[in-house]
Amino acid sequence: MTKTPLYQQPITQIYQTLATTEQGLSPDVAAQRLAQNGKNALNQQKKTTLIQRFLGQFKDLMIIVLLVAALIAGLTGEMVDAVIILLVVILNAVFGVFQEAKAEEAINALKEMSAPNATIRRNGEVLTVKSDELVVGDVVLLEAGDVVPADLRLVDVAGLKVEESALTGESVPVEKTSATLTQDNLGLGDRTNLAFMNSNVTYGRATGVVIATGMQTEVGRIAGMLEAADETTTPLQLNLMQLGKALTVLILIIAAVVFGLGLWRGTESVIDMLLTAISLAVAAIPEGLPAIVTITLALGTQRMAKRHALVRKLPAVETLGSTDVIASDKTGTLTQNKMTVEKVYQNGHLMEAADQPVTADDPLARVMILSNDTQQMADGLAGDPTETALVQYQLDREFPVDQTLKALPRVAEIPFDSERKLMTTAHPLNDGRFLVAVKGAPDELLKRVTQVDLDGTVSAFTTAQRQDVLAVNHELATQAIRVLGFAYRIVDQLPTKLTTENTEQELVFAGLVGMIDPERPEVAQAVAEAQAAGIRPVMITGDHRDTAAAITARLGIIQPGETQAVLTGAELDAMDDATFQKRVGDYAVYARVAPEHKVRIVNAWQKRGKVVAMTGDGVNDAPALKAADIGIGMGITGTEVAKGASDMVLADDNFATIVVAVEEGRKVFANIQKAIQYLLSANLGEVLTLFMMTMLGWQILAPVHILWINLVTDTLPAIALGIEPLERNLMNRPPRGRRSNFFSGGVLNGILYQGFLEGALTLGVYWFAITYPVHAASDLAHADALTMAFATLGLIQLFHAFNSKSIHGSIFKVGLWRNTFFNWAIAIAFGLLAMTILIPGLNGMFHVTHLDLYQWAVVVLAGILMVVIVEIVKFFQRRVVK
């Protein structure tokens, strides 16, 4: 088969290339091709079972560490702790399965968009067949309302317009032609003699020959890209994996060192040292961390849902907080996907649409309504978006649309066609004459204009007036505003058959109308907020270069006239990946792009270490949505394909909601980071306490002590930190980026010095109780000292939870009492800790004694010192940062 693209081949050659004729294939040939090439259908996505999804949740290293911890706890007889750890693991797995249940539905949604039936011609006979039975070479008949059943080369066109924004990003239906195109390397949106599978015919009719079916179509290529795309690992998942690996190595080293040193000293038995090593391992594992992360993310999804951002995968909540680049589709995302009248040129003046005066006999308004195929339905206007925009404009101005249509019914017409670019209708007047209403491309219309209507007075159309109209047309076109011209003519009688020669001549110019798919009103502010947060907005569209540049300038993404920041798909094709990766930061606008271009753009930013969010609503956006770190689909205008490939869906299609979601994502990460600092510093304090007591030969805390402290202090307070309110100025900080982790921003240093401080204070209290005992008896003194160390280690962690409400900020400015759940968590945790000492019977189970007020005062003082010392350190840290 020839390598010449089919859009460049003449119609006669098309039939030869595809081995078919104008009469279509014979049934035998069609059956043979169907058997050879398969059905005209997309591959179904392979589904994973519920069990497979559930088991997949246990691949995470941290989960494996927790399962080992549960086993260790069970072997030491601590069945309650083992059960709690297992419940935490199962809860985490259930949440993961629930959130990802619909993650692989995108390709199946593509299939559901396909036309169920197609009208074709075989052996000269017109038939209706199932669309999945179409084969290459079939001749397909299209008319308004049809879904294009396969990729077609159009061979006969009558005013055909096809809405293909979901595939190409075009904001208005595309006028199609059967003419052979001569340009090389045309993008999808410029291949105007092709019709693509799953696009919608909005106007006219046509005949086309099938050139591709199933996975070979343009939609099929997108389905293939979705199949081949790997699931991206979010920054949160990477951080948790890194943390899990680090903790695993640390736990093994600590347990081995303590076990070996204990045996070397010879003061403890092998069993006792094994239990001590196990206690250290359990102390080092933040067993509550996965539950805290899961609960924090789940609560974040609930808050985001209330603000119209629906999260499909839990880690996506946090990913938004680390986003560096938001690559957004234009049509339906930054713009309203609704043509709107914006400028009007009438009576020699260019004005804003809202400023045009309303008069019942306005000739421009009448032509806009009459030369128009819009239908008024019960649920709104139906028809071509450009024409419905004209009628809606008049309805909004309270122009008498219905009365005008009733008074001036259409009796004849010359339909629009892409060659003359005009549409004409004829309407009877009360005096027996006829009004001829004409609209179309200004340059074609002006060739037929001889007069002009100025405030109701008709006069000759001068050369100066013509030049003025052309200048206005050019000015609006440079602003990416689509311009239509309007004219009329009053004749005594109509020809038997209306033609352009006998009707569209000697016209009276009525005016120009400029239309655009306008930006959403809230987007400019959202773009400014994103830029203030250090996030780079980038627009990617299938629309034309000038349109893309104009919209982004209006939104503040680029400056007016900043054309060097705009790159077309053809220019991108001319760059290799290495060059583009180096220069990707130079471009903020991509125009006339194909689906694979969008993926290249996302990948180029990712290779530069950036976290990329991609927004979109069309089929053409789906591969990039899946490739991005977080794909954001549109809930109202978005296709099911785009939603299925997304991690998050905007229920209100509001770009500003993304900024809200970024804020929530930053808060989620900050709160998880606080919980991690709190948990790991507490666990480090426990490990150092046990390690030093073992090395010093002191009576050490038993496994039951460590397990109870972990259960009490690692759960409720850490969860409460996960729902802390948003800190001030969080959205004024730059994105943390892909390379940062939970230990960035001074967190690791905080964990180390705070852990050492907790251990030192606990050991100090133990030493003080041994040195200055309340009881003279040695065994009672040691029992009291151990009890005070147990109480101190637990209470210090609860006091330290207040420090952890902010990594660097003072707790007095963050607010001690803003988080009601936190206050209750601390109170309950303290109660659980204190009752093991205060309640008779329980203290025997935990091998602790009663403490008097003096001893409690020493324990509380140690807790207060923890707060004071950490606050002093944070004060000097803030001074250094400044």
Q: Which two tokens stand for residue 208?
A: 């086309």
Per-residue tokens: 563: 């054309």
How would you class 299 by CB atoms within 10 Å of its CB: exposed for 0-12, middle for 13-18, buried for 19 or more?
Answer: middle
**Burial state string for 703-740 with b = 16 or more CB within 10 A and e = fewer than 16:** bbbbbbbbbbbbbbbbbbbbbbeebeeebeeebbebeb
> Rounded to an integer, what distance in angstroms lies between the CA atom of residue 401 and that of residue 406?
9
Q: Which H or E run contains 174? A: strand 174-175
Q: Are 608 and 584 in contact (CB under 8 A)?
A: yes
Is residue 634 classed as helix, strand or coil in its secondary structure?
strand
Report helix, strand or coil for 452. Answer: strand
Q: Which of 324, 329, 617, 784 is catalytic?
A: 329
Half-sphere exposure of 508 (CA within 13 A, CB side): 20
Whether the Cβ atoms of residue 372 and residue 391 lie closer than 8 Å to each other? yes
Supply the angle between the helices 235-265 and 61-75 in degrees, to the nearest 10: 30
Tokens of 661: 């979601």
Residue type at position 291: A
40 CA to centre of own chain: 31
Tokens 């002191």, located at residue:
698
3-state secondary structure of 667: helix
The Cα–Cα gap between 640 and 106 comes to: 7
Q: 325-329 and 612-616 as β-strands: parallel, antiparallel, unpaired?
A: parallel
Instruction: Report how far residue 745's alpha carbon sits from residue 751's, in angstroms, rounded to the nearest whole number.
Output: 12
Tokens of 442: 């200004």
Burial class (CB in 10 A: 0-12, 13-18, 19+), 406: exposed
The answer to whether residues 347 and 454 touch, using CB atoms and an 8 Å cutoff, is: yes
400-405: long-range pairs with CB below 8 Å, 24+: 400/360, 401/369, 402/376, 404/365, 404/366, 404/369, 404/370, 405/369, 405/370
Report the distance separating Cα 569 and Cα 589, nearest Å.
Answer: 11
Q: In terms of Cα–Cα distance, which of 692, 683, 703 is closest to 793?
A: 683
Q: What is the pairing mode between strands 151-163 and 194-195? A: antiparallel
Element (H, E) at 457: strand 457-460
Q: Is 765 left (phi over 0), alpha (psi -120 to 50) or beta?
A: alpha
AA identity, residue 353: A
Distance between CA atoms of residues 436 and 618, nearest Å: 40
Distances (CA, A) of 157 to 10, 119, 145, 161, 786: 14, 16, 15, 10, 92
381/104 Cα distance (integer angstroms): 36
Scanning 113-214, the segments in alpha helix (DSSP H) are 165-168
Contact 93, 58 (CB under 8 A): yes
Identify the DSSP state of 311: E
What sign does the CA torsion over 676, 682, 683, 687 have? positive
CA 29, 35, 39, 43 dihedral sign is negative
Q: Which two tokens stand for residue 167?
A: 């595939």
Amino acid at the residue 230: D
Whether residue 329 lies in the annotated active site: yes
Catalytic residues: 329
